Structure 1
Amino acid sequence: MGSVWLAIIYIGGWILSMRVFGYFWKNRKLAINDAEPWFGEHVALNQYIALLQQTEPEATETQLMAALLRRAMEDVSRVLSMREDKQVLANLVKQGTVGDDIWTQFALAEKEIEAEIMAVIEEANTFKEGWGQTILQTASEMVMHEKTKQLQKELAARKEEETRKQAVREQHKTQTKATKEKKKEAAAAPTEPEKTTA
């Protein structure tokens, strides 16, 4: 009789522990699904889809190809960003600074971007046979070109700011020097003797 009760308690304990585990697992999956996407809205993708659906007037093939190339550029930028983030995120997960749910979210974003790139390649081949093999390379070159242009703008702005600061410093030095010279002249100038009254 005692062994029957022991078996019932054992089985009841297993059922209870499985229910508790299931409850927490379900809540964890819901939290992952409700998490914000790794990247924001894919504006270039939305613009491409809007052009495809445009009827009055219908978008030209050139417009669609340009929009698809812009979409590919956005995808390339995201891939480059994820490559930079991956190593840092892996180290943070190892250290326990961030939870596994962030890593899971990152892995989902990687799968999404892979699917998006495959979709871009397929779309490119519908416009021109073999374009799918080169569109990503072209997009990469354009992204690098844009980054170089941006860097040049930043360097030019920094140089201009430095030149302006240098000019202000020079002007301040000149004014200080002129003030010192005036003081020296005032100190060196002979004072008129006081007039005596008869």
Structure 2
Amino acid sequence: MATSLIVPIAYITVLVTALAIFSRVYRKRRAAEKTSFEPWFPTHPTRELYISLISNPNSEQIPDSLLKSALLVRATTDVKRIWRIRDDKIALTNLHTRGLIGDDTMARFAAAEKELEAEIVDVVSEANTFRQGWGQVIFATATEMAQAEKTRETVMSIPKIKAVEEKRIALRRKYLPNSPNPPAQPQIQAQSSNAITPPSQPTSQVASPQKVPSGASTPSLVSEATVGGSAGSGGSSKNDSPAIGASPTASATSTPSKSTPNKKKGKKK
């Protein structure tokens, strides 16, 4: 009877002990993983350089200009990290909202933000030790230096990009020999269109202005056909004067002569 009770009690004791040991080891490993994650940024060489200059036993012999330059370079590195933090924060927030990244990544990012804030405070305090109020201006100067360095890197990378593009175009010409060259195609079309289409010629010649003598009257704005039509339809005016603006030839043709009625009377007789 006693033997039958000892066996299940021993079995339960061993099982509970094993589960307790497993849970304890598992929790320790999880805690170690959370505390010993990889940092978001690599090492900070400019900060280490500045600290080595400050902690040098012969730091009194080091000129202040060298220390200020090292501090400016350190602030420039911090500005670049601020830019990267701003760019990464938007993407990480969207990915974490969708569930595409875990909490460990967000924990690494939060630790990087806190470390960067502490670094900025340290740089400002170090700048104020050289000159009071310089800590408020040092990051503006560091931002200009970072932008200038970024522009220089962009300009220096142009030959590399050009070599890559030339290699790509050469490879394309090798496998596609009959493919037209896109940049030269519009010029060829323009030249062919100029060679095919002749220059347009005017259909009618432009009349050159004639010289008007000084004693003559001003030219008329009413044509002879208009004067003739009006004379034939409406007749002459009361004083048998030509229309306004009519030429002398038009008035002579439109005004009836005195001999015409006499001839008609003679025929009637």
CA distance in 2, matches of 1:162, 1:35: 41
Query: Residue 114 of structure 1 is aligned with which of 110, 113, 117?
Result: 117
RMSD value over aligned CA atoms? 3.0
Which residue pairs with 2:196 in the alignment? none
CA distance in 2, matches of 1:44, 1:155: 28
Segments of 5+ residues of structure 2 without an aligned counterpart are 1-18, 178-269
Aligned partner letter, 2:126:
E
Question: Deviations for 1:35-93, whole angstroms, at most 9, x for unmatched residues?
Answer: 11111110000000111122347321111100001110111111111111111111221
Larger % of helix: which? 1
1:102 aligned to 2:96? no
Q: Which has the higher contact order (CA 8 A, sep 6+)?
A: 1
Identity over aligned residues, as a percent? 41
CA contact (8 A) 1:32 1:105 kept: no
Which residue pairs with 2:150 in the alignment? 147
Query: Residue 31 of structure 1 is aligned with which of 29, 33, 36?
Result: 33
Segments of 5+ residues of structure 1 without an aligned counterpart are 1-15, 174-198
CA distance in 1, matches of 2:83, 2:109: 14
Aligned partner letter, 2:54:
L
How far the C-alpha of 1:103 sits from its partner, in A, is 0.2
- TM-score, L = length of structure 1: 0.67
- TM-score, L = length of structure 2: 0.50
CA distance in 2, matches of 1:166, 1:28: 53
Which residue pairs with 1:180 in the alignment? none
Size of the aligned set, in residue pairs, is 153
What aligned pairs does 1:54-93 form with structure 2 within 5 A after superposition?
54-56=56-58, 58-93=61-96
